[in-house]
Amino acid sequence: MDQFQPTCGRTTMNLPSSPVRISPHDGCAIITLDRVERRNALNLEIKNLIADAIIELENDSSVHAIIITGAGGYFVAGTDIAEMADMTPLQHSLQATGRVFEVLRACPKPVIAAVEGYALGGGCELALSCDIIIAGRSARFGQPEINVGIMPGAGGTQRLLRTIGKYQTALLTMTGDAISAELAFANGMVSQLCDDNQALETALQIAQKIATKPPLAIKAIKEILSIGQDAPLQTMLSLERKTFTLLFGSHDQKEGMAAFLEKRKPVYLNR
């Protein structure tokens, strides 16, 4: 992972001892989860650090795409059961244990999950909260919450339902069994497969390609995709058309089409 070291200073998240680090890279940024001794299991500290990192990068005009990955050959093996075991419903509410997923859903910039090893439980839900999922061929995905007396609580039923359908979702969530990245890809749950240990590099290539595109149009596409899953087709076709026409009032549309006609590289200004 040496090729992905930070290129500029940021918050204490960049300290070597931090379980969450931000690394900027040519128009995008990598958020690395580094709690290798627990296979990057999500505790409240890490979830809040991820949420804070997403908010920080939302407000950074030099960042156009965000990657979330895990150190040590794992994405996230799940949520920290030891921390959750004695929690009450009130504590879940007061401590905002689902905040990271809400922040991810609200992020206006595209987020890519680079998955190696395991993406289980909260880790699978973290990946499902992203816009694009890149996975090494040996990666495994699953929602094993049923094995410890609970159910998915951060999108594991509803995002899977809208992605792979009721019957596959029921099988995964009611048995707790994990599936291979190959099967997840075949079911439409993974955007792209790659060789093992290449998920981050592949995600970085995609993120840097997205970073060259007009930010207003990228934001519009993400918004339409996000709300389109829950709205009637005719409603979304009308909203898609309206959003499409509104982009013709932007500098970036004029620049993009002028550059195409003049056979030069466009310079987008996010306006």
State the catalytic residues. 125, 145
Report how far residue 172's alpha carbon sits from residue 247's, in angstroms, rounded to the nearest whole number. Answer: 40
Q: Is 23 helix (H, G, I), strand (E, B) or coil?
A: strand
β-pair partners for 25 = 28
Distance CA 198, CA 136 (A): 7
Query: Contact 175/223 with Cβ under 8 angstroms?
Result: no
Produce one character per residue of 93-125: b if its CB has 16 or more CB atoms within 10 Å, e if not: eeeebbebbebbeebebbbbbbbbbbbbbbbbb
CB 30 within 8 A of CB 23: yes
